[in-house]
Amino acid sequence: MKISSNQSGALTATKNLVDFDIPAGMTYDLSKSYMVIHSSIETTDTHTAATGGTAQYPQFSGGTGVYNVFLNYSDLNTGGAPVTNRNFKNKHLVRNVSMYSQKAGMVEDIRRSDVLQYNLDQFRDDVDTKVNSSYNQISSLLGANAQNGVRWSPYRRFSPEGLEVSDELDREIRVGLSEVMNSCKNIWDGQKYGNTRVHAELSLGSLVVEPRLAASDSIWAATDGGGGIARNAIVAGAGGDVPGVTTTRAYVSLEDAPFYVSQKIQFTGTIDGTNVTGFVRQIVSIEHLATGQLKLLFDTSLATGAFSATAVTIKGVDAATSAVNFDSAELVLYVTQKAAPPQIAFTTYKTEEDSFAGGTQYNHQYYLESDVQNIFWGSRVRDKTLGFEQAISTYRIREGGQDKTDRDVKHGSSLHTSRISRSFANSNMRIKNLSQASMQNDSRVSHLLSTDGQAMLVPLFMIGETCEVTEMPKLLDVNIVATTAFNLITLFKQMVKIM
């Protein structure tokens, strides 16, 4: 069953709320149900008609190109140095989420679900899972590899060989309900709980359009994996009309080749006195020769005469404009004949946020509900930054006036690791990665460590601690010594709810 969002029209960075009403009377397997955001990326060309040069050899041959553009996470608009290229999962797009039942009231209401899920995922996912997710989520690497691959957009269908044109594609961004709310890992009795509403606020403004294979992309001059031959090098012309060119570099795999049918490329150099620098042509055919080289045929001949392979080079063209469209949202519900359990139990979270920028000593007291079992605490530099990336030197936590440890806990120490492991075990969550570093997707590869293999590229500074379930509420004291002044502090209090 598909249910459209109550909000009509396209979604934007500011029009980012979605509500879905689940009808009563049927039974649903919410663990198999998911939200869908229909999206597309549009680009425009500056030169769609042949202009400049001569009638036979125009500077711009015209036509509409297909551009390799994709979505990436960025907090560029918040000021300061941007945080980009995070290994960003679809579920991290959900900023706040809640579910309300007509007969049972509020089921879950989780603020800053994006921050919570992002930081927990860094410990719950092993390295293989982190790398694999970089190939099938929003900021996908789709096709790149550690040595020489090109990062291809999942919003395009590329034709690397032959005559078939490349296409622009719409894409579904799917977020499983069970990925953001633990109550949705169950069979849901619509007759017992009545009409139910799922509400979500989406961080659509965190997604920006980025190009690959544009004019400034370093991959054109890169020689890695190609026997020292750059991708922009072409074989010298012997004279006569130039309807196409042949690459100097041989390609064993077309995935490594930065060319596709419908692509626009531009030239640098001279052909028999004709300066073709800035000339643009569109590829209409690609032939993979027996030598491994690629023969590129253009929509219009480039010029006439001979040219030097070292003097004439090629590279990509920038789109005139690019924009992402979030056309609509819907909820896909899985109706089942399975019997719903008489009651469901699940863990959920309450969130407290604070702002603090007055020094490196942080002391704060929180109200702790009686049924809180675990807490997860950390600080971020900016609102959109998902990871707890502000450095902690030492910390100490007291619950109800009693210290949780007999000494200050140094970040990264065995004691710190032990406290995090205890909190995850007490949450019935399995830790698969204690590297305390998030993944970063760059233009070519998703990686955990810096290029020298030593320092953490994106370290995390999360505090995890167990709490006692008591009859009465109590106070939680947090004392932090940091290397820099803290900014945005977030505390997630985990508890069990039974319905």
**Domains of the chain, each with CATH number or no CATH:** 2-47+69-212+322-332 (2.70.9), 218-317 (no CATH), 345-498 (2.60.120)
Residue 34: CA count within 13 A, CB half-sphere: 12
pTM as predicted:
0.91
- Tally of CB atoms within 10 A around 169: 12
Residue owning tokens 């309807």: 243
C-alpha 259/C-alpha 261 separation (Å) is: 7
C-alpha 118/C-alpha 120 separation (Å) is: 6
Low-confidence residues in the chain, pLDDT < 50: 146, 450-451
DSSP string across 364-379: EEEEE-TTEEEEEEEE
| CB distance 232 to 88 below 8 Å | no
Q: What angle do CA 176, 179, 180 make, to 5 degrees?
A: 105
Residue-level pLDDT at 320: 95
C-alpha 429/C-alpha 418 separation (Å) is: 14
C-alpha 463/C-alpha 409 separation (Å) is: 10
Residue owning tokens 């980025």: 210
Alpha carbon of 195 to those of 99, 336, 382: distances in Å?
11, 17, 38
Residue-level pLDDT at 146: 46
- SS3 (DSSP) at 98: strand
- Buried b / exposed e across 438-459, counting CB within 10 Å, b at 16+? bbbbebbbbbbeeeeeeeeebb
C-alpha 393/C-alpha 85 separation (Å) is: 26
HEC per residue, 103-133? CCEEEEEECCHHHHHHHHHHHHCCHHHHHHH
Residue-level pLDDT at 457: 62
- Is 428 exposed, middle or buried (CB count within 10 Å of its CB: 0-12, 13-18, 19+)? exposed
